[in-house]
Every structure is written in C-alpha cells, then in structure tokens.
Amino acid sequence: MTEVIFSFVIATMVLALSPGPDNIYVLTQSLTNGTKSGVATTAGLISGCIVHTTLLAFGVSALITASPKIFFGIKVLGALYLFYLAFKVFKSDSQITLQEDGETPETFQKKSYWALFKTGVIMNLVNPKVMIFFLAFFPAFIWEPEGNTVYQFYVLGITFMVVSFVVFGSIALLAGLISGYIKKYKSIGVFLKWLQILVFVGIGVFILL
C-alpha cells in the first residue's frame, strides 16, 4: 500500500504541475486579485474533487460516461457556464487595478473569497474531463482489487486533493508575489482582464472538444 500511495503522490504532483486549465485559472486569479484569492479559488477547485471521488467510488461516473446523451449534456452545461463567466469579465470595468493582499484601493472591485471558492467548485463539477480523468487514473492505483474499493478510492481521492492543493497553493503564492511587482504598469489590468476571458473561453472550448 505504501509504495502504491507514494507512486500515486508522485504522479499527482507531475499532473498538477503540468500546464492545464485549473492551474492556469489559479494563476490568473492570483495575478489579478492576490495570493488569498488564488488560494480561495484553489480550495474551491479541490473541494469539487470529493464529489468526483464519491461518484467514482460508487460507480456513478461509469454510468454517466456510458450514456452519450447525459455526458454530452454535462459538457454543454460546463462550457456554457464558462462562457458566461467570460462574458461577465468582458462586461466588467477594463481598468482593473491590481491589489496586493491587505490593500483596498477605491477603484478595485474584488470578488469575495467565498464567491471565488464557489466558482472553483462549480468549474470542477461541470467539467466532465475531471470525471473521465478520475475514472481512468484512479483504478490503476488500487492496491487490493478484491478488498474494499470504496475505502481505497476515498484514500486516493483525499491524497489527490491534498497534493493538488499544495501544488496549486504554491502557484497562487508565487503568482501573488509577482503581482506586487507588475502592478506599477498601468496597462496590466486590461491585459489580465483579457487573459481571464481567454482562459474561461479556452477551458470551455477544451471541454466541448
């Protein structure tokens, strides 16, 4: 068991560090709103994994992916939600002022940590790619196929969440520190606004295709 968990931790770290929709989204939130906002986003994204773990442990994921209509509906719902988020950013003030943690400039309209957390959870839950990933990745690390697989899936799921939170949290911390250095550039707010739009649209297209 120990060797399997260790291998799983290494594999999860590599996957979490690989450029992907989730860590790019955490990066943009941290650059735009500061480290704490990035951590709140990370907490939301990671919390959604417990739902995917539960679906996997009790076989629901396999049933959903076996139904093309249900699976396609989830994909469309997820993409539409991300396109909606992109539209909200597009309609927001383009003059975004970067904020360091603890500062409250009058011109800065910042989402609450709870709002960022909820967005992270929803983004994770409506992304069917996460469901497929869990379904394909986790069974390879079951150390006792004839034993209690529900227990084993939860052990793997919680391990995945902890490792991913550490990696994504580190990304949020580093990006938050960088934001303090780049906030002196007046045009950076507009750049980050469009970067967020591209990230949302890109993830949505990624889900559909």
What's the pLDDT at 20? Answer: 72
Q: With bands split at pLDDT 50, 70 and 90, how would you rate the model's confidence at 142?
A: confident
pLDDT at 91 over 60: yes
Report the pLDDT value the prediction gives residue 101, as an integer from 0 to 100: 45
Check residue 49 and give left, alpha or beta (phi > 0: left; psi -120 to 50: alpha). alpha
pLDDT averaged over every residue in the chain: 80
Say what the pLDDT of residue 189 is: 66
Q: Is the pLDDT of residue 18 over 80?
A: no
Tell me what pLDDT residue 157 has. 94
Q: What is the pLDDT of residues 107-121, one digit of tens each?
A: 344 678 999 999 899
| Confidence band of 93 (pLDDT split at 50, 70, 90) | low
* Most confident of the ranges 106-120, 126-140, 189-203: 126-140
pLDDT score at 180: 67
Using one digit for the tens of pLDDT, what is the confidence trace for 164-196?
A: 999 999 999 988 887 766 666 666 667 767 777
- pTM higher than 0.85 for the full model? no
Q: For 29-67, how does the pLDDT look when each residue is reduced to its tens digit (9 = 90+)?
A: 888 788 899 999 999 999 999 999 998 888 877 776 677
Confidence check: pLDDT of 96 > 50: no
Query: pLDDT digits over 20-32, tens only?
Result: 778 888 888 888 7
Question: What is the pLDDT at residue 183?
Answer: 62
